[in-house]
Homo-oligomer: A and B are copies of this chain.
Amino acid sequence: MGILERKEREKQEMRERILHTASQMFLEEGYDKTSIRGIAERIEYSPAAIYLYFKDKNEIFVAIHDRAFDLLFSKLAQANLEANPFARLCHMGGLFVGFALENPELYDLMFIMREPMDALCQREMDWDKGFRSFNFLRETLRECMEAGLMKPMDLDVAAVSVFSFVHGVTSLIIRGRFKMYPAEQHQALVEQSLQNMLELMRA
């Protein structure tokens, strides 16, 4: 019975069309301006049709959110080329900040916006995609400490500290809280701060 499979495939294609259009609109105009009606118009379906493929607006953004985490992880994985754990850590920091500043809307969705995380909680889903990248950081830090390349400290405290720091800088920039300094200086300040922070942790 290939007919059920075709139906399933068509359903997936429709989901894909919705997701693609939503992503595009989201990256162009942001969450609020990405309306169900707007998506429907672009794919030439009625607004109600979208609800046959997604439970609600947030479910669409949970899917985009999910893919963004895959993208981040694959980017961070580039740091694996670095054999030295501390060099890898530094590389990861740069890659993370790079990802954030190159994809501010995605970063926003992943680490700042309420909606996707609220939806995940309501559906009692776990955050495995997020975990994966965090654990990568954590394991790198473990290697650093085991190799004596980093000052010894509690592993979780270290992981939280590094994550908090990079998120702090990037989210302040993305949400426009860096007005103390002119925009031209931002990138330099971010890079220097990150470098300074990592240098403080080095053994």
Contact = CB atoms under 8 A, between A and B. Distances in A.
Nearest to A135: B180
B112 A176 contact: no
Given A117-B176, A168-B171, A196 B153 contact: yes
A127 B163 CA distance: 27
A177 B108 CA distance: 12
Interface residues of A, number: 43
Interface of A: prevailing SS: helix
Given A134-B180, A175-B117, A161 B201 contact: no
A175 B130 contact: no
Looking at A130, A134, A200, the one whose CB has the most chain B CB atoms below 10 A away is A200
A101 to B, nearest CB: 14
Interface of A: 111-114, 117-118, 121, 126-127, 130-131, 134, 151, 153-154, 156-158, 160-161, 163-169, 171-172, 175-177, 179-181, 189-190, 192-193, 196-197, 200-201
13 contacts: A111-B177, A117-B177, A118-B176, A130-B180, A134-B180, A156-B189, A157-B196, A160-B189, A161-B197, A163-B168, A164-B169, A165-B197, A168-B168
